[in-house]
C-alpha cells in the first residue's frame, strides 16, 4: 500500500523500477537510470513511492503501469498527487502571467 508522505515525480528509464531503485540497491549496484538522458532517450513518468509500513530507505521509483500490474492499494493517493501537481502547475503559470510583466517595473 502506498503511503501519502514524501511523493516525487520524474522522467526515468523504462527499466528502472522496483527494488533496484531503493537507496541501498543504488548504493550497492549503482543507479539503474544513471545513463538515461531525457533529451535523447525515451522514458516514462515515474513516482517515488513511500511504502506504508516501510521506512524511507525502502522507497522505490514506480511507473503508474507497474503499480497497476502489482495491484497495489492506494492508487487513489497517486491520482490525488497528480491532480495536486497539475493544480500547482496551473497556479505557477497564472502567477507568471500576472506577476512577471510587473517584475521589471520595480
Domain ranges of the chain: 8-103
How would residue 87 be classed by pLDDT, with cut points 50, 70 and 90? Answer: very high
Q: Measuring CA to CA, which residue among 3, 24, 6, 15 is closest to residue 62? A: 15
State how far the alpha carbon of 84 is from the alpha carbons of 35, 80, 81, in Å: 30, 6, 5
Which CATH code for domain 8-103? 2.40.50.40
Asked if the model's pLDDT at residue 1 lies above 90, the reply is no
pLDDT value of position 83: 93
Q: Cα separations (Å) of 22 from 19, 48, 75?
A: 6, 10, 20
28-73 residue pLDDT tens: 887 777 777 778 878 778 888 888 898 888 888 888 888 888 888 8
Give the pLDDT mean for 8-35.
Answer: 73
- Give the CA angle between residues 57, 53, 58 to the nearest 5°: 20
Q: In this predicted structure, what is the pLDDT of residue 3? A: 54
Amino acid at each position: 500500500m502506498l503511503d501519502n508522505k514524501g511523493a516525487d515525480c520524474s522522467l526515468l528509464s523504462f527499466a528502472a523500477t522496483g527494488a533496484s531503485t531503493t537507496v541501498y540497491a543504488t548504493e550497492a549496484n549503482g543507479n539503474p537510470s544513471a545513463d538515461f538522458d531525457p533529451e535523447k532517450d525515451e522514458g516514462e513518468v515515474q513516482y517515488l513511492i513511500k511504502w506504508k509500513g516501510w521506512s524511507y530507505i525502502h522507497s522505490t521509483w514506480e511507473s503508474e503501469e507497474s503499480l497497476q500490474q502489482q495491484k497495489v492499494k492506494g492508487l487513489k493517493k497517486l491520482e490525488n498527487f497528480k491532480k495536486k501537481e497539475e493544480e500547482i502547475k496551473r497556479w505557477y503559470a497564472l502567477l507568471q502571467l500576472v506577476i512577471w510583466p510587473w517584475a521589471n517595473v520595480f
